[in-house]
Each structure stands twice: as C-alpha cells, then as structure tokens.
Structure 1
C-alpha cells in the first residue's frame, strides 16, 4: 500500500568423480558458500528432474537420469539466468528509462528537510552522491554499506535505480533560476481525484528489479540513506509488478490488470527519432531548434522527464462488460492485442476503416484512436508502467490498477496534450480513477566519479 511518512540444513556431501571438482570447467556456475564440492545445492535440485522427484513431482525416466547426473556431480542446468542480468549504472542516460520493465518496482517521493537554501543544497548534494555510490554498487551486485543481507545469494537481477527532481526541489535549494520550463506543474484534468499526500515531492527515486528481494533490498537502502543523511524524508511510496521474465513461451507485450495487451505502440530505440522523443537534446546540438531548453537548462541535456500517475482500475465494473464491449472500448482484440481493423498485434491501426454500414471500425472514443500520435499532432512518449494491488477497499472492490510512467523530452509536447484529449472523450475513462500524480526532471546519467545531478548543483 502507498506509504506516508510523517517524519534448510546443508546437503550431505557426495563423492565427486575424478576431475569433477570446482575449477575443472571455467563455465560452470559457482556453488553457494557452504555447499560441499560435488554436493547438490537446493537450486541445483530444483533445476533437475531429480529435484522434481525430491519435491514429490511426477517425472519420467528422463527426469530420473538428469537427477542422477546432478547427484553424480555433473554441472546442473541453471534454474534461471535472471539473477545474472546486470544493467550498467554509469552512462549518458540514467538506467531505468529504456531498460525493459522489470518484474518488481518501487517508486519513492521524498521531501527535503526544511533548511536555508545553501544548507539544503549542500545536504541534497551529499545525499545524491551517497545515492549514486549506493546505486552503482547494488546494480553491480555488490553489497551496499552496512548490508542487511536481504539479497544475499542473488545476483543483481536487472536492478536499476533512477533519480529525479520535482518542481519544489528548486525552491528548497535556491535554484529557481535553473528550473526547466518543462518542469512546471501539470495542469488539472477533470478526471483527477488526486491525493496530494501521495503526489509530487522534491526528490524521486525509482527502483526496479526482476527479483522481489533484490528490489526490496535496494528500496530499503535508498530510504535508509535518506533517513541517516537528515536531508530528506519519505513523502510516499508506490509499489508495483509486471510479468516475470520467462513466464511466457516467447517474449510478449505485457498485459495490464484489465487483461489487455498494453504497450504495443511504444516507441523503440531502433525507431528513427526515438532519442528526440525521449531525451532532452543538447541546446547547441542537433534538434536544438525543437527544444525548449535554455542555456541555464543545459544540465538536463541527455536527461528526460517522467510523469507518474497512480490510476486505479474499476475492475468490478470492467469485468462485468462483455468481451465485445471491452474490445470496442480499447479498439483492440483482447486475445492477441491485434487492432479491430485486422492483422496481428503489431499491425498498424487503420483509423479510416469502415464497417459495411459505413461506421468506423475503431470508434471515435476508442482508447487507441484518442491516444494515437496521429490524433495528437505526433505526440510520442515511452510508457514503462507497473501494475499494482494494494488490497481491497471498504466496499470490497480491489484497490488495484496501473502505476503509469511515461518518459519524454518535454511533457508539454507529449503527455499533456494526449491526457487532455483522453480527459475529454476516452471510452476507457469511466473505468479509471487518477489518484496520484507527479512530474520529475530526471538528469542525465553520471560518469564514474560524479553523482547524479552534479551538473545542476555544482555547475
């Protein structure tokens, strides 16, 4: 639930055949500390037919032979390669923007502790340096300072930590003249029912990983560092999830809690103009004529803007709708995400297609029509959401929906015009409630030896 803050025995040794000890195969995975050479770890058991048999599962002859090989000391098939995934921390852009969405995510908003602007700026800089060092270590699979042991035995599991600044950060630190124009507060929308205590904030941190314990470990480290610094206090937290890697037979677009394929038309890095849509250009570089950047905003070159919206889905009402009505609301088939105008998921939507009676196949208020770049002067954003479930409300309805995140070079050229159009006539709107909202400037990535945001605080 969104958070407010006011202030087994080791396996028995087995005799390994000659040459089967550790180090004979440089590609062999290292066994966990404390596992005897030639022994079978719990992970190795679970990765083999022998492990399945040990857990009471039905296996055939092949499974028994696989288990026998593992017990004999041969290299087991890895249970998963998920833990081995490493996302680089240092680079031109911060991680967690173009990184494929992970299975687990935590979003945190912080407020700076009130202090005179020069003191607040120094304290914020010290915290950002500490967060940067912490994120770089954790994302590399190294233990953080005073490590709690929560993520022991796991690899980095695609961990990312992303840091941003809210509109009010610049007031608190006396940097108003360096606040980007694109960071002005979002306008009000008629469908908003926002809880301001779970919105906005001076600082933002997003944590994502494909392992729940790795994600929690990083979340806890980030929050503890803020508490110990005395510079910032947690304002709110939202936690979400996605489908786990390997859950489908082949890579597929994710589904949201309405069961709809969600993200088909997301821009891809290989697309022409992708960087211009997502990242702030250099004021003096290519594309500068399309940028709103001023010289004092040069510190944002290579950065991006993220809009966060906590959108509760009225699932009880939605699930009562017949399949045909659900598909008409979205404009796509539920089974495979293909547009109602035909083809497969990636087939372009034909917004001009008509039925035999002359009516549009994609209704005028269908979600795919209202939100399409063609309907919004080419407005494009990179969506990277998480689903969430925070239990049940007093009326028994699920408190569940979407932690919507979208990335763009300028929210007033991407999110805002699209949301205004959705606000005026989207068939999906009656099934949604927008309950929290925030906009953050996410500066470019940090080089080694630098910290995130250094160009702003020290430039």
Structure 2
C-alpha cells in the first residue's frame, strides 16, 4: 500500500472520529444532503461513524468532475460520512453522492442509521408479518440475516446470490432501519416485555385507515440517494424473508436529490411548502432525551433506540391548489416563498405567537398548522420528522394519489406524536386538505454491537 493511500485512510478515520466534517470543494458542497425533514408540514406534520475503507471494485467505477478526488470527506453535523478510497487497479473515484456511506453500526451513539441521517432522495417503507408457525427462534434468525445483509449493502458490498441491480453503484447514503410492531411481541411469546410505548395509537377523527396497509410485525425503512440502490436493498431483504415472513404492505417515496439546489436547503413537500424548518436538531441540548430511549425507560434492550410513527397522508392537491398563496399561508402560518413565519423574519426566525395585526387578530391564525404543531403550543412536545413524499398515480376522479409518507421519531409517542396529533385533530386548518389512510407504530432497537444483530438483546435474553 502506498504512503499516499495510507495517509488518506488515516485522515478519513480521524475525520469520522471527530464527527466534524472537513471543508469540501464548492462542487461537492452543492451535493451535500439538505436538513432533515418535516416540522411545519403535514404532521399529522446525522449518523456518523468510521467509514469502511476496504471498498469493493464496483464502488470505484464512477468518476468525479474534479480530477482524482480520492479522499473526499463530507457530511452534516452528525451526518453521513462520504469516503472515496482508490484501489491500485481503479484510478478513479465515485462521485460524492455515490460514495457517501452511512455505517450500519454506530458504537458510540448506538442509534440505528436512518433516524438522524440526512434525508435521502429515494425511500421504501415496508412491513412484514411473521409466517404462520413462525416463532421467536424464526424471528431471531430472520433479523440476523437482515442485519448481515443491511451491513453489507450499506458498505457498498454485494451480498451472496445478488441480483446485480446496483453492481456499478456505490453505497449512495443507503440506510436500512428495522422496527418491531405491537403484534411482534405476541407472535414471539414476548408480550410481557412489550414496552407500554407500543400501546396502539388512539383513533383520530380524521382517520380513514386501511388496515391492510397499516401496522405489521416487522417494519423496515430504506433510504438512498440512488433509486436502484434503494430497490436493490428492498429486493435483497424481501428475498431474505422467504419462508420466515410475508409481505404485509410496501410504499415508495422520494425527496429532492442532493445537489438539485444551488445550496443545501430545507426540502419542500407536494403542497409546495418548505417542510422541516422547526425540526429538533442533534445540537439541541435535550435532543437525545426527546428522540432516544434512555436508561430510565425500564427496557434496557431499547436503550439508545427510538419509536417510529408512520402515517400515509394523502394530500387533496386539487383543493389545495385552488387556494391563493395568501390563503395557503394563513392555513400553514408561514410564507410559501421562504418558509418564514407570518410574523416576519427568515425561515429560522422564531414565530411570534402573541403578535396581533391592526385588526386585533393574531397574525398567525389560531388554527394555523404551524401554531398548533409548535412545541410552545404542546408543553414542549417535539418529534423528529423524517418523511418521504409519494405519488401513486391518479384516482378514478383524476385527482393525484399523492402526499406524504410521514415518519417521526421520539422517545415516547404518547408524549410526542399522540399529544400533538390530538391537538391538530381538534382544529388544524390544514386537516381539510389531508386524508390519513394508513398508520403504524414501531419500536426501533439500537444499532447492534459488532457481531450482533438488531433486536438480539430482546430475543436472546
């Protein structure tokens, strides 16, 4: 190994260990992932680690516009680490997007990837039910296979019996996140160890839920900046489940591609609204307390994990698009152009909820979505929203079957999602433009230690 390559590997390791990204060229910076996502959008709204330096040949087939970028490191705070290391027989490197790798195991934070990882351009949400006759041993074997496959794919390596779908792509920020549903604990004889946080969500007046597209014993969230890489992971995990679990439902989503804007910015949803302004940030002093399960939760196997709430929310876009921008802004409580609150400032200016206009009425209407969903209106309740948009064609009346695959993360759904959604359910101006069509709640265990699999501490105790 040459001295040059050794020094680049050392630098990459040091950068990952410090969790502080090195400066990147302007071209690479324009491809950095935008902030996580969804706060003031339909509510009902970055995992670091040591990069894998032994890269397979297929990860080295791409090219970059800048000459010979063989050791580029990029990422957001707590975000994915982008690494490109050259083999002696492959002089070129992948583009920044293709070479970005998110570790499957995070030894320090212990959180699974796909929670604080920056939003990816493509995603799949999928739920499985254990096969008839399957038991705890079957579930353990399946999660062991899934964990092994996810680790291989996220590192850009090819698993056994591969389909060849993504042979010439890098890891492309691939994340695979596993969750356990309420029914999983009954199926595996572990009902006594089911967390109270997994108690079913209450019924909401706006719900029109399809049971066949809700819940599930096991849940997987897949995200990647390359659609083929995302599909490749979905197909590999489905094949791993054969004989052990059957598909219950599957949905496809998307976000803006990194690098599509002149600089990183908060994404927009299909209503055209900037969506994600007020999300909790890993730099917040109480971030871990709000989002991840702590020592005092009474479930040691979930320590460092989180709870995911999923909602398929169809947007009534034909009705929404008939409203003027001014009407839409009053419904949301923010300007459509830049996401700033109606009380003024820029996107990140705090809302002045006590500000009144010349008519004596609140500048941000009392039923505005942003006001009702704000932590200040919910005793500080907050959740990390990380959605994908979806479009599944057109309905019989010609209306788009499109909206948000809403996913939010919290340490306790009762104190976060449920509390906020109950308030929204009672008077959110946005509700008339939404239909909640599917739902799920899942316990997402921490990332496994080296040699372990997701959920091992629960299944093998």
Q: TM-score range by the shorter chain?
A: 0.7 to 0.9
Residue 25 to residue 279, structure 1, CA distance change in 2 (3 Å): closer
Check the 8 A contact 1:47/1:79 in 2, yes or no.
no
SS in 1 for 2:419: helix
Instruction: Select 2:127's aligned residue among 90, 97, 109.
Output: 109
Q: Note if 1:226 corresponds to 2:216.
A: no
Contact 1:84 1:157 survives alignment (8 Å): yes
Per the alignment, residue 332 of structure 1 pairs with 334
Distance 1:243 1:362 in 2: 28
The number of residue pairs the alignment matches comes to 385
Does the alignment pair 1:397 with 2:389?
A: no
* 1:54 alignment counterpart: none
Question: What secondary structure sits across from 2:212 in the alignment?
Answer: helix
Out of 358, 381, 384, the residue aligned to residue 382 of structure 1 is 384
Tell me if the contact between 1:307 and 1:406 (Cα under 8 Å) persists in the aligned partners: yes
Q: Is the 8 A contact 1:255 1:261 kept in 2?
A: yes
Q: Determine the C-alpha separation between the residues in 1 that align with 2:343 and 2:334.
A: 8
Q: Distance in 2 between matches of 1:113 and 1:377?
A: 42
**Per-residue deviation at 1:163?**
0.4
| Aligned with 1:352 (options 351, 354, 357) | 354
> Aligned runs of 1:123-142 on 2, under 5 Å?
123-142=138-157
Identify which of 276, 295, 299 aligns with 1:263: 276
Give the equivalent residue in structure 2 for 1:157: 172
Correspondence 1:240 to 2:266: no
Q: Any stretches of 5+ residues in structure 2 without a counterpart?
A: 9-54, 67-90
* CA-CA distance at 1:79 after TM superposition: 8.0
- Within the candidate set 254, 264, 273, 1:251 is matched to 264
- Structure 2 residue matching 1:332: 3-state secondary structure: coil
Does the alignment pair 1:212 with 2:230? no
Tell me by how many angstroms 1:85 deviates. Answer: 0.4
Distance 2:56 2:153 in 1: 21
Secondary structure of the 2:186 match is helix
Distance 1:144 1:354 in 2: 60
Residue number in structure 2 paired with 1:16:
none
Q: How far apart are the structure 1 equivalents of 2:146 and 2:393?
A: 31
- Paired residues of 2:200 and 2:441 also in contact (CA < 8 A): yes
- Measure the CA separation in 2 of the matches of 1:457 and 1:127: 11
Q: Match for residue 181 of structure 2? A: 166
Note if contact 1:304-1:409 (Cα within 8 Å) is conserved in structure 2: yes
What does the per-residue CA deviation read over 1:240-273, in whole Å, with 9 as the maximum and x for residues that have no partner? 0000000011110010000000010000000110
Distance apart, 1:357 and its partner CA? 1.9
Question: What SS is found at the alignment partner of 2:426?
Answer: helix
Instruction: Determine the structure 2 residue equivalent to 1:282.
Output: 295
Residue 150 of structure 1: SS of its match in structure 2?
coil
Which residue of the partner structure matches residue 71 of structure 1?
Answer: none
Superposed, which structure 2 residues align to 1:301-316 within 5 Å?
Answer: 301-316=303-318
Measure the CA separation in 2 of the matches of 1:316 and 1:357. 31
Contact 1:240 1:403 in 2 (8 A): yes
Could you list the structure 1 runs, at least 4 aligned residues long, displaced by more than 2 angstroms after superposition. Answer: 23-27, 30-33
The answer to whether the 8 A contact 1:87-1:139 is kept is yes
1:429 aligns with 2:428: no
* Contact residue 376 and residue 417 of structure 1 kept, 8 A: yes
Distance 1:300 1:31 in 2: 33
Q: Could you report, residue by residue, the CA deviation over 1:145-187 in whole angstroms, capped at 9, with x for unpaired residues?
A: 2111101111000000000100000011110000000001000
Equivalent residue, structure 2, for 1:418 = 420
1:288-315 CA-to-partner distances (Å, cap 9, x unmatched) read xxxxx23xx2211111000000000000
Is the alpha carbon distance of 1:171 and 1:31 closer, same or farther for their aligned partners in structure 2, counting shifts above 3 Å? Answer: closer
Q: State the partner residue of 2:13.
A: none
Match of 1:196 in 2: 211
SS in 1 for 2:149: helix
Pairwise CA RMSD? 2.1
Matched residues in 1 for 2:199 and 2:56: separation? 52
Deviation, 1:114, is 2.1
* C-alpha spacing 1:358/1:94, structure 2 compared with 1 (3 Å): same
